[in-house]
Amino acid sequence: MSNTTHKLQKFCAESYFETQTQPPSLLADIEGVHKFIQRQRQANRSVVLLTVRVIITGARVMHTELEPEQRDHRTARAQCLRNLRFLDNFSAGTRGATSAEYFLKAGHAVIFMNRQFNLQPFGRRSSHSTNPFLNFLEIDAASPSSSTIDSAFPYSNDPPPMTRTP
């Protein structure tokens, strides 16, 4: 076993994002969010942003490489964690999906961001699947409805809607 000591680097979000390529749809997504928020403001409706970080929607990532002075050397757990880069805690996203439902029912507009395959608002009682059945439903804009759907900002990761064959 080597006695080489490794210098731990502090995590910096700015430097991380500087080294990553931006998603191809990022600028269009940002513009879509701006337009969505502007429409909601014109309708005098508040906007709620639900993300993995604001309201825990499905996951937590904990940075575990701590500086030596930050480590709690009294516990075996801290000694084990220092060998990991990140500890990622996946969950189904039930709290975030539920929160979004309550905000929508209260009349707020919601921007809901979550991990792929996490539960979605109004679909959380269905089975957890990589092919959620709600993705196969279509909205008939011609039929009267008590709710509205703002489709000007579609999810960039969603597959295109399926077309019916006669």
Q: What is the pLDDT of residues 76-116, one digit of tens each?
A: 444 444 444 455 556 777 888 888 899 999 989 998 888 77
pLDDT digits (tens, 9 = 90+) for 11-70: 677 787 788 888 899 999 999 999 999 999 999 999 988 775 444 444 445 544 445 554
Pairing status of strand 59-63 against strand 86-90: antiparallel
The predicted structure's pLDDT at residue 38 = 92
C-alpha dihedral, 126 to 130 to 135 to 136, nearest 10°: -90
CB atoms within 10 A of CB 100: 25
Query: What confidence score (pLDDT) does residue 39 get?
Result: 92
Two structure tokens written together for 136: 């196969």
CA dihedral 51, 109, 136, 22 (to 10 degrees): -40
Global pTM exceeds 0.85: no
| pLDDT value for 73 | 46
pLDDT at position 27, please?
93
What is the per-residue pLDDT for 74? 45
What pLDDT, on the 0 to 100 scale, is given for residue 97?
86
Residue 114: CB atoms within 10 A of its CB come to 20
